[in-house]
């Protein structure tokens, strides 16, 4: 069901309360790669996971990123779902801009660059968002890394019990009191002098790392 | 350096064209091939060359070479 118009504020409050209550019951089963996570807690930096793991990533945002004290920023699409997500994130103290780096959204990309370089934020990125295809990294985050010099810290999330929504990304929502495993990988660093070829190689490597870390997080649960 | 001249240098470097080739009506995407990732680099280089922070509204309004040069002239 799509929520639009006047129903959005009420829906956002309801969904936020449900999401807060639900994620509060998530238990961190294991966090692998804490030393890499430290790099994401020292902004400017980007923490990235596949869009399907957005709900699980809330655990890391609320327990690690926000308590670290630095600004945390996200990009949220102009869709009704994006509006809802933006209101929820904003209520949690996350800085939000609306837009997409994939649809000529240079102003959104510029905002994210300013968030990194001028505000020294940690950006939470889902490189296959806002509409997929699922698990295909778009070049936006790689360009941000190259222009800002900020590292991309890749992460994979898995949960022992939950369901997948019927969205394009088949988003994973953990069941109440489920166990979440997180695998954080080595940061990806690029310089402004990097060539188009090097950036494309980095984009492919970035996607492969997210897949590997997702699989690794799954193995941590077993 | 004159802001418009500085902006023209940035446009030439980003697009790989000679400054003399750049016409005000050239579209950044269609004529200069500056897709979204390259446009971000263009905006960042412009900020550094002009020593300004470009607003999201101004960034969204830059469609052509002329738009970029007009913006630079306004800064000066």
Nearest to A97 by CA among A113, A86, A81, A88: A86
Q: Tens digit of pLDDT for each residue in B7-37?
A: 999 999 999 999 999 999 999 999 999 987 8
**In the block, residue with structure tokens 């905006």:** B43
In chain B, the residue whose alpha carbon lies closest to the alpha carbon of A147 is B41
Q: Tens digit of pLDDT for each residue in A168-196?
A: 999 999 999 999 999 999 999 999 999 99
Size of chain A, expressed as the number of residues it contains: 222
Task: Please state, rounded to an integer, the average pLDDT across all residues of chain A.
Answer: 89
pTM of the model: 0.88
Could A104 and B57 be called an inter-chain contact, meaning their C-beta atoms sit closer than 8 Å?
A: no
Task: Supply the DSSP symbol for A129.
Answer: T
Give pLDDT, residue A8.
67
Q: Domain with B66 in it: what CATH number?
A: 1.10.1200.10
Instruction: Please determine, looking at this structure, whether the domain spanning A7-220 carries the CATH number 1.10.10.
Output: no
Domain chopping of chain A, boundaries: 7-220
Task: Specify the pairing of strand A122-125 against strand A45-48.
Answer: parallel
Q: How many domains does chain B have?
A: 1
A139-174 CB burial, b ≥16 within 10 A, e <16: bbbbbbbbbbebbbbbbbbbbbebeeeeeebebbbb
Is A147 near chain B, with CB under 8 Å? yes
Q: Which residues on B lie below 8 Å from A101 (Cβ)?
A: 36
Give the number of beta-carbon pairs within 8 Å between A and B. Answer: 43
Q: State the nearest Cα–Cα gap between B60 and chain A, in angstroms.
A: 6
> Domain residues for B69?
3-75
Is A137 near chain B, with CB under 8 Å? no
In A72-222 the beta strands, taken as DSSP E runs, fall at 72-76, 95-98, 122-125, 152-159, 162-164, 172-174, 179-184
């Amino acid at each position: 069901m799509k929520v639009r118009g006047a129903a959005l504020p009420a829906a956002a409050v309801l969904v936020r309360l449900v999401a807060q209550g639900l994620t509060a019951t998530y238990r961190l089963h294991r966090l692998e790669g804490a030393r890499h996570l430290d790099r994401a807690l020292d902004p400017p930096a980007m923490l990235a996971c596949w869009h399907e793991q957005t709900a699980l990533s809330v655990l890391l945002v609320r327990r690690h990123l926000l308590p670290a004290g630095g600004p945390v920023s996200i990009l949220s699409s102009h869709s009704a779902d994006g509006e809802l997500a933006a209101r929820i994130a904003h209520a949690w103290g996350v800085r939000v801009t609306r837009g997409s780096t994939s649809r000529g959204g240079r102003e959104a990309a510029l905002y994210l660059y300013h968030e990194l370089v001028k505000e020294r934020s940690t950006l939470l990125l889902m490189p296959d968002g806002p509409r997929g295809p699922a698990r295909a990294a778009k070049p936006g985050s790689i360009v941000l890394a190259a222009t800002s010099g900020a590292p991309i810290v890749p992460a994979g999330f898995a949960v022992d019990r939950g369901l997948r929504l019927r969205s394009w990304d088949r988003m994973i929502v953990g069941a109440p009191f489920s166990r979440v495993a997180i695998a954080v990988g080595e940061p990806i660093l690029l310089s402004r002098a990097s060539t188009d070829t090097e950036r494309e190689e980095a984009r492919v490597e970035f996607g492969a790392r997210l897949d590997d870390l997702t699989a690794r997080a799954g193995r941590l649960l077993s | 350096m004159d802001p418009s001249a500085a902006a023209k240098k940035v446009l030439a470097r980003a697009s790989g064209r000679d400054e003399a080739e750049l016409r005000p009506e050239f579209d950044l995407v269609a004529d200069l091939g500056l897709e979204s990732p390259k446009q971000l680099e263009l905006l960042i280089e412009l900020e550094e060359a002009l020593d300004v922070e470009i607003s999201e509204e101004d960034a969204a309004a830059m469609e052509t070479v002329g738009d970029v040069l007009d913006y630079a002239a306004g800064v000066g």
